[in-house]
Amino acid sequence: MISGCKRCNRELKSQKSIAVGYGPTCQKKQEEADAEFLKIQIRIDEELAY
């Protein structure tokens, strides 16, 4: 099985990247996207609470 980055599909060279599923650059971008997504989710939850 070839391990590629889930974002850009590039070959992952370090064990760390393979474990995460992303290359270092994409991991950072993915984390930022996840953080942004979470923020939006929290906002929606707060709006529904009222």
Residues in touch with Zn ion (CB under 5 A): 5, 7-8, 23, 26
Select 36 or 40, whichever has its Cβ closest to Zn ion.
36
Question: Rounded CA gap, 4 and 9, in Å?
Answer: 5
Select 10 or 43, whichever has its Cβ closest to Zn ion.
10
The minimum distance between CB 47 and Zn ion, in angstroms, equals: 34
The minimum distance between CB 45 and Zn ion, in angstroms, equals: 31
Token pair of 45, please?
């939850």
